[in-house]
Amino acid sequence: MLGLLAVSATAGATEKTDSVTIITSPTIITIKNTDSGSTITVTGCKENPNFRFKSESTSASSSDGLEAESLWAFNERFTNRPNKKKRNPSADGFCDFYAGAVIPSDADAGISRVGWEIGMLNVAKLQWRLSNCGTEISLGIGWDYRHFTIGDGLRAYRGSNGSYDLSPIPDDDYNSKSTLRNFAVQFPLALRQKISGKFTLEVGGIAMINSYTTGNSSWRTDDTSSKLHIKNLHQRILTADILARIGWRNTFAFYFRYSPIPQFKNSFGPQYKSFSVGASLGF
Per-residue pLDDT in tens (0 to 9) along the chain, 283 residues: 445 544 454 444 444 455 677 888 787 888 888 877 888 888 888 777 778 888 887 765 444 444 444 444 444 444 444 444 456 888 998 989 999 999 999 999 999 999 999 999 999 999 999 988 889 999 999 999 999 999 999 999 999 899 999 999 998 999 999 999 999 999 999 999 998 878 999 999 999 999 999 999 999 998 899 999 999 999 999 999 999 999 998 789 999 999 999 999 999 999 999 999 999 998 7
pTM score, two decimals?
0.68
Find residue 185's DSSP bridge partners.
Answer: 143, 209
C-alpha 189/C-alpha 128 separation (Å) is 11
Tell me whether strands 238-248 and 199-221 are parallel, antiparallel or unpaired.
Answer: antiparallel
